[in-house]
A = this chain, B = another copy of it.
Amino acid sequence: MKILIVDDNAAVRTTLKLVLGGEFEEVAAVGDPTLLPAILSRGNVDAVLLDMNFDNRKLDGSDGLFWLERIKSMAQAPAVVLITAFGDVPLAVEAMKRGAEDFVTKPWENGELIEKLRKAISKNRRLRDDGRRLDKAKELEKRAEEQGRMTLDEMKRKHIQATIEKCGGNLTAAAEHLGVNRQTLYNILKRE
């Protein structure tokens, strides 16, 4: 499991890398959140541990929310755990509503942080699977509907095509599966 730390404080980055290094497969750290899209588009990060404040003139966490949104709008988005020294309840709630898997306040407790990261990753995986399944659901729904108003012949052809596909192009086996003679299958295919 690969973790990406994003915090503008070099000391925090070093500490976190040290703490998490022994627990996760790979731990990288960057100080500049603008690098996030580039890094994540390479797609091998399981969780991002994201600081909420990068511009020291505003400590309201809006930077963190912004980057959270950027991350979560990506396809195959990683889990995101937010971390902040200036967290209040409304900010935490807002972050969770925008799809963060967890929200921790500095100073953190190491073991707890590790646990939260692990849980975040597995929760995110579940969500991603659900998302994928939803996409598939829409497709299936559409196909079922099309199928509904199909002519018998079209239906037949489609099923034949699918079966041949499934048999890896072996027409004899396909004919067997379809319950028709091999010759009949040939005829049908010849008639296009």
Interface, chain A (partner B; CB < 8 A): 87-90, 92-93, 96-97, 102-103, 105, 130, 133-134, 136-138, 140-141, 143-144, 147-156, 159-160, 162-163, 166, 177-180
Count of identical protomers in the assembly: 2
Of the residues B133, B152, B162, contact of A180 by C-beta under 8 Å: B152
For the complex, would chain A's binding face be called helix, strand, loop or mixed by DSSP majority?
A: helix
Contacts of A149 in B (CB 8 A): 177
Q: Are A178 and B160 touching (Cβ within 8 A)?
A: no
Contacts of A147 in B (CB 8 A): 159
Contacts of A148 in B (CB 8 A): 162-163, 166
Contacts of A137 in B (CB 8 A): 133-134, 136-137, 140-141
Contacts of A87 in B (CB 8 A): 89
Q: Are B134 and A105 touching (Cβ within 8 A)?
A: no
Residue in A88, A130, A148, A159 whose Cβ sees the most chain B Cβ within 10 Å: A159
Of the residues B96, B151, B162, B177, contact of A96 by C-beta under 8 Å: B96
Say whether, besides A92-B92, A150-B159, A159-B155, A130 and B134 are in contact (CB < 8 Å): yes
A125 to chain B, nearest CB (A): 15
C-alpha spacing A134/B135, complex, angstroms: 9
Q: List 22 A-B contacts (CB under 8 A).
A: A87-B89, A89-B89, A89-B92, A96-B97, A97-B102, A130-B130, A130-B134, A134-B134, A136-B137, A137-B137, A140-B140, A140-B144, A143-B144, A148-B162, A148-B166, A150-B159, A151-B177, A152-B160, A152-B178, A155-B155, A155-B156, A155-B159
C-alpha spacing A130/B136, complex, angstroms: 12
A93 (CB) vs chain B CBs: closest residue: B103
Q: Are A152 and B140 touching (Cβ within 8 A)?
A: no
